[in-house]
Structure 1
Amino acid sequence: MILTLGLLGALQTILIGGFAGYYLSNSLYEEIGRRALMVAKTVAATPAVIEGIRSQDIPALNRLARQLAETNEALFIVVGDRHAIRLAHPDPERIGFSMGDDDGDYGRPALVEGRAYVAMAKGNLGESMRGKAPVVDPRTGDIIGIVSVGYSVTQVEATIRRYKFVLYGVVGLMLMVTVLSAIVIAGRFKRAIFGLEPEEIARLFQEREATLQSVREGIIAINRDGIITTANRAAYETLDLPAEPPLTGRPILEVLPESQLLSVLTSGQPDFDGEIWLRGRQMVVNRLPVRQGDDIIGVVASFRLRNELDLVSRQLTRIQQYADTLRSQTHEYSNKLHTIAGLIQLGASQEALNLIGSEISDHQALLHLLLEAVPDPVIAGCLLGKYNRAREMGLRLDIDPDSQMIDIPDALPRDQLVSVLGNLIDNALEATREQTGAGGRVMLSMTDLGEELIFEVEDQGPGVPEHARRAIFEKGVSTKGEAHGIGLHLVQQFLNRWGGSVTVDNLPEGGSRFTLYLPKHPEGEPHHGTDSTSDR
């Protein structure tokens, strides 16, 4: 930008300066020519000059010519008769000779045609701009002589150089101002674009477009007037909008009347992980104002279908459960193997056999119970993993031998049920270990009799205060401090969608009981956003 503006300014300044210099030179030459012609006409009309030519008074004509030349700052004033013979000249030696020696035209236009004219010629006094006028006898009207007034071209050029010096000084100053202005403008412009060059801006724009289109979340941005400026492909797909006409350039309320982006534009407060309904779909939305200094110039929103997030959450939960199961089993069996190896090395073979038999007996009993009471492999695998985790923590997870969970409706998503049940058991194990340390016990009972599936989880923890029994199901609320409060919130969301409920009671002997009720055949569609926690 500096080079472009500088070169453009320099070119304009040089062209203007060159034209001005050329025009000034021509104007000065024309002005000197007009002055010479005017003086020549004035001298030719002077009575003393007319009388001197008529009487051939050469001394008087020379004195008068010198006086008039000095008065008009002329290089010379030459007076000739009707034959162009010099009667007055600054150089006395040239008096009596023809004027044609200097200009070659012998003053013919003035002497023959009777007209005044301007000519440039070089004589013994140097090159000069000459004005020539005929001398007319007023009594007879005849042309009786000629007057030539000359101004030195050297004087003209000196004057032109003086004017050009001032002119070119101004041109140079203008050029400097132009370059400095270009530097200032380019600097401010570069600061406004974070020091990036145009090529870098173009590359970043292409990268931004590629990034926007590759993101799976829908993204919509509006300016301060509520007009959509950006919308990626995922936005069209998530909102089920046609590709034509494009969203950009349209008011946000025309496309999404229920949008709250304008409220964020007004308040300037960001909104994260908000759950809303757009075009009949439940979504999780993040809205962030775009600021330029202290001004809010727009809002950017990213959104995604809620069920996609739930699917990701469930997959992560299952992966975590599998990882916990493998880790606990590895740790537990490693300890058992080390113990058995030590007993064999000590020669206590019977004790080693008893330990192996006890281990086999406990797992055989658990496996037998799960095979009969919980034939669903996903739920049974979850319970087996929690059983091993409890043992790793130094606790016991006892499953009521009278439990039965066979009649599970096909529509009930197993991964969500496992996530809910796993969260309740994990909370119970942590609460028990915190209260009792090693040796504590968590009790699980299940039944599918009647129209509901019922799960009861009892722990030996500190219990849940009455005032907190509803709040603990809200996101971010937990009795365990920060970085908690997600598990029970997921439980509540699942219950809201399935139409179930959960109760929390404190046990007389200490600890708490969480009872989960899930209808086998929920009425209507699962409802959204309501608190189904109830006391039964």
Structure 2
Amino acid sequence: MFSLRALKLKTRMMLILGMMALLQTGFIGLFALFYLSHSLDEQISQRALNVAKTIAAMPAVVEAAEQRDSEYLQPLALDLAEVNDARFVVIGDQNGIRLAHPSWKRVGKPMYDDDGDYNEPALLYGKPYIQKATGSLGATVRGKAPIFDSSSESVVGIVSVGFLLKSVDDIINRYITTLYIVIAVSFSLSVLTGMWFANHFKKAIFGLEPEQIGRLFQERNATLESVREGIIAVNNKGRITTFNRAAVETLGLDANTKLTDRPIEDVLPDSRLMDVLKSGKPHFDKEIWLQDRNLIVNRLPLLQDNEIIGVVSSFRRKDELDAVSKQLTQIQQYADTLRSQSHEYSNKLHTIAGLIQIGATDEALALIGQETQSHQALIHLLVEAVPDPILAGCLLGKYNRAKELGLRLEIDPESSMKQMPDHIPREELVSIIGNLIDNALEATLSNQRLEVKLSMTDLGNDLIFEIEDEGQGIHEEDHSRIFRKGVTTKKGEGHGYGLHLVQKLLQNLGGTILLEPGDTMGSRFTVYIPKQPEDTCIQTSPMRSIRGKFREE
């Protein structure tokens, strides 16, 4: 079965506009023709009646009708018909016998022969009237008026004036021809308009068909609902046009709240979407607090013809991202640990195998005992001092990494990190300590020294970590700027981000970091992380005892 959907948009619009033009012009034309026919009919009928009444009132006609003077009335009737463009003027006496007629043969015969009308309204009651009939002279509309005597008391005759109905039909036919022309022109203009509008419309919708737009709309809605990130879009007036269920859930809004077409500032006063709408500058991976929730937000302006038409924002709760980051961090730490251990033990095994091959069995046994004792001591220390497996795995990995580089990571045997609060994200803590140890190892290696010291304590209200290297140290004038993004004392590209990240993570945790010169050389970084989020006081006495330990050694 034929369907309009099988046609392209341009063809459909041409057909629809063309059919509308045909229906409109056809309806208006039929109405105009009906009204014109009715109007012309009334006008001619009224004209016939008025001419009949005028002739009936002429004194000469009245006198001739009283005298039944056909010789006078016959030529007069012909002249009056010609003057008034009437088909005929017929005059009869009080009995309806013709006194004047366009044909002499019908003079003296009853007027009833022509139209079957006894003319009773005019002859009996003296009332003029209009009649349509088909007589000897054709189909006509007739106006009939009584002729009163000179005293206007009695009817002495009748006047009948007729106009052919064919003249009305001729006029209507001429208008019908004009109507056909108008309909054809309207249809052509509608088709051309449809083509122009369809081209313009398809350009605005990127050449897509309506069905394609419908499918894309459904896909867009399904995509929005399948995305776990919250998405909100506003137009150039700051009113919400698009949102998904994840946005409502992430922001903790009522699921029944109507968001569409509401000002974004009424729903989310601190969203900063209006700032992007005004500036046109996108925001990527911004960490904000909104609706008492910590979110990672992206904001992107929507452009059309280099004009900002709206802004779309995607966001997700930071704790969800932290959970993913935590899992990745754990995997990375485990991988680093395994890689370091594998590399280290591979070297040791090769060495032991070489000693055995050359017959140095005593030296091989001594090396095996040394390695076993050192490794077991480290593991025992970490088990006792650091029950948290993520932090312990990080430290073990850094210890093996130091050995790969030919360095020593000396962990204070009196260290203790048993009271780590659950609210401190382990992946952030590992990132802080890992970056500081990596920097210390690089600084010590570049200065051709051997040892990096780590001490930690959970006594008091803070978690305190101290990392001391044997590098060349950091000049005092650089202490205030070393934590800025991109600032570094190292050569080459790709540096200057680790300490900036450490400071940013510490700010999130409410902690601080202190940079001091080392006891003998290099630098010492001291990290303070409050056990309670609201408590920012720094307990320095435990740290002093740790530093004393290093100094005594």
- Residue in structure 2 matching 1:316, options 325, 328, 332: 328
Give the deviation of 1:140 after TM superposition. 7.1
2: CA distance, partners of 1:55 / 1:484: 135
Partner residue of 1:18 out of 30, 36, 53: 30
Q: 2:145 aligns with which of 125, 129, 133?
A: 133
Cα deviation, residue 157, structure 1: 0.7
- Mapped to 2, the partners of 1:254 and 1:156 lie a distance apart of 70
In structure 2, distance between residues paired with 1:432 and 1:129: 124
Give the letter aligned to residue 492 of structure 1.
Answer: Q
1:270 partnered with 2:270: no
Shift of 1:154: 1.8
TM-score, normalising length: structure 1: 0.75
1:182-193 aligned within 5 A: none
Distance 1:403 1:73, change over 3 A: same
Q: What is the SS of the residue equivalent to 1:400?
A: strand
Distance of 2:103 and 2:475 partners within structure 1: 131
Q: Which amino acid aligns with 2:100?
A: A
Distance 1:355 1:76 in 2: 150
Q: 1:46 aligns with which of 58, 66, 74?
A: 58
Say whether 1:493 aligns with 2:504.
yes
Considering only aligned residues, what root-mean-square deviation do their CA atoms show, in Å? 4.8
Alignment check: 8 A CA contact 1:134 1:143 kept: yes
Check if 1:515 corresponds to 2:515: no
- 8 A Cα contact 2:419 2:458, kept in partner: no
Aligned counterparts, 1:301-312, within 5 A? 301-312=313-324
Task: Write the letter of the residue equivalent to 1:149.
Answer: V
**Structure 1 contact 78–90 (Cα < 8 Å) conserved:** yes
CA distance in 1, matches of 2:458, 2:291: 38
Task: Summarize deviations over 1:368-426 as a string: whole Å, max 9, x none.
Answer: 342243234544533444466567xx733422376564444332655443322333344
Matches within 5 A, 1:81-480: 81-138=93-150, 141-167=153-179, 169-170=181-182, 173=185, 207-221=219-233, 232-243=244-255, 258-290=270-302, 298-326=310-338, 349-350=357-358, 364=372, 367-375=375-383, 376=386, 377-386=389-398, 395-400=405-410, 405-411=415-421, 414-427=426-439, 443-448=451-456, 453-456=464-467, 458=469, 469-475=479-485
Identity %: 49
Asked whether the 8 Å contact 2:402–2:409 carries over to 1, the reply is no
Amino acid at match of 1:493: K
Q: Quote the offset at 1:258 in angstroms.
A: 4.9
Alpha carbons 1:132, 1:148 under 8 Å: kept: yes
CA distances 1:48-101 after superposition (whole Å, capped 9, x unpaired): 444544455545433323322222222222333334333433334434433323
Q: Which residue of 2 aligns with 1:525?
A: 534
CA distance in 1, matches of 2:180, 2:218: 47
Equivalent-residue separation in structure 1 for 2:166 and 2:476 (angstroms): 113
Unpaired runs of at least 5, structure 1: 529-535
Q: Which residue of 2 aligns with 1:533?
A: none
Residue ranges of structure 2 left out of the alignment (5+ in a row): 1-11, 538-546, 548-553
Deviation of 1:23 after TM superposition, in Å, equals 1.1
Relative to structure 1, the CA distance from residue 225 to residue 358 in structure 2 (aligned partners, 3 Å threshold; closer, same or farther) is: farther
Which region of structure 1 is more displaced relative to structure 2, 182-191 or 310-319? Answer: 182-191
2:9 maps to which residue?
A: none
Pick which of 57-66 and 3-12 moved more.
3-12
* Mean CA deviation greater in 28-37 or 302-311: 302-311
Question: TM-score of the superposition, structure 2-length normalised?
Answer: 0.73
Q: CA deviation at 1:297?
A: 5.5
Aligned residues: 515
